[in-house]
A and B are shown apart, each in its own frame.
Chain A
Amino acid sequence: MLRASSEATNTPLDPRGITSTSIDPLVRGGSQLVGFVDAVLAGGDLEGVTVLLQDTLGEDAVVDAAGVIANFEMMNRIAEGTGMPVGKGSLARTEEWRSLVGLDRYHHD
């Protein structure tokens, strides 16, 4: 969905920024959003990154980001807990991207 939405909205994107914090994802406020996710899920200066995100994208952006994190905390657990397979078509379509971003390391039985 990230690739599709960035293409649909002509938003610049470097997908390597998903897995590497040293790479700017290019999406406006992308580094601040990644920093916010990291602070929420992995710990860190949550107050500091929240202020930074608020200054960059506004207060509503913080709430929206919190909602998206919450939703994917749920969806990730549902996918992992039910052994949700990724379809062959999706695997084929995303091969190049997965390799670029390094996502295949998360693929298990």
Chain B
Amino acid sequence: MSPPFDDLSGSVRPEIPALFVREWARLAGPGSHWSGSQRVEIAASARAARQGSPPEQWSLPSSALQAASLLGATPARASRSWAESTIADLGPGPYVELVGVVSRTAAVDSFYRAVGSALARFPDPVAGDPSGVVDQAARLGAAWVPMVGGSSIVGALSAVPPEAEAQEDMHGPLYLTYEQMGDLQFERGLSRPQMELVAARTSALNECFY
């Protein structure tokens, strides 16, 4: 396993550090709208907000920094009016990509914290231009961002396909694949009700109604 994930050992299933290696590579490289250095900065500012660290000198637009901080530390404080104003400033694609980066970084950090490890050092950014990849079929519906095929949590980031793919890539190793979610008898280290209790408590502490 490549650094910095060598320290996840013991009973951690190998698919998890392998996932984090993929995620850190995604984070470091250019996305659809943000460069690699901007993506790392989004992740770092979200982590800093979660940790209550003092503000640093970031180069991102202020609305991106504010969005990364809010979604990183206090996601339940996001409101429609706030999101509309932020999306008007950044554009829907960059906003969706930011949501993806912040949410996956929170997942990696939380796993590290949960297994008692120090948080992983962020990767060095990889140079390159954003790809501009978007799904032109995405339309605005009941949610705040455009999506493909109507509002659904698995399609939440579908306007920016690499972000939706990254979300699905995380979902399987950490919890269940989208296909496994229908299996209510699923059992691994925890039974399905035990897994769902952890999910429900996590969502309650995050004050997430969804």
Per-residue contact bits, chain A 22-60, to B (CB 8 Å; 1 contact, 0 not): 000101111001101110111000110010000001111
- How far, in whole Å, are A69 and B199 apart by their CA atoms in the complex? 6
Whether B184 is near chain A, meaning CB under 8 Å from some CB there, is: yes
- Specify the chain A residue showing the minimal Cβ separation from B181: A1
In the complex, A96 has a CB within 8 A of chain B: no
Task: Give every chain A residue within 8 A of B175 (Cβ-Cβ).
Answer: 67-68, 71-72
Interface segment out of the listed B24-32, B53-61, B119-127, B202-210: B202-210
- A65: contacting residue among B153, B171, B198, CB under 8 A: B198
The 4 A-B pairs of least Cβ separation, nearest first, read A60-B189, A83-B144, A66-B114, A64-B189
Report, as a range, how many residues of chain A touch the other chain. 35 or more
Contact A77 B189 (CB under 8 A): no
Minimum C-beta distance from B177 to chain A (A): 11
B66-85 interface (Cβ within 8 A of A): 67, 71-72, 75-76, 78-81, 83
- CB proximity to B under 8 Å, residues A74-92: 74-86
Binding site for B on A (CB under 8 A): 1-2, 4-6, 8-9, 11, 13, 15, 17-19, 25, 27-30, 33-34, 36-38, 40-42, 46-47, 50, 57-86, 103-109
Nearest CB in chain B: distance from A106 CB, A:
4
Query: Chain A contacts of B116 at CB under 8 A?
Result: 46-47, 50
Tell me whether B115 is interfacial, beta carbon within 8 Å. yes
Do the beta carbons of B193 and A6 come within 8 Å of each other? yes
Q: Is the pair B208, A29 in contact by a Cβ cutoff of 8 Å? A: no
Q: Check A106/B195 contact, CB under 8 A, given A9-B184, A85-B142.
A: no
Known: A27-B193, A63-B115, A109-B80. Contact between A86 and B209, CB under 8 A? yes
Complex Cα gap A42–B207 (Å): 12
Once bound together, how far apart are the Cα atoms of A70 and B12, in whole Å?
13
Within 8 A of A (CB), among B137-176: 142-145, 147, 151, 153, 156-157, 167, 170-171, 173-175
CB-CB under 8 A for A67 and B111, given A75-B153, A83-B83: yes
Find B197's partner among A27, A60, A107 (CB 8 Å cutoff). Answer: A27
Select one of B145, B147, B170 contacting A71, CB under 8 A.
Answer: B170
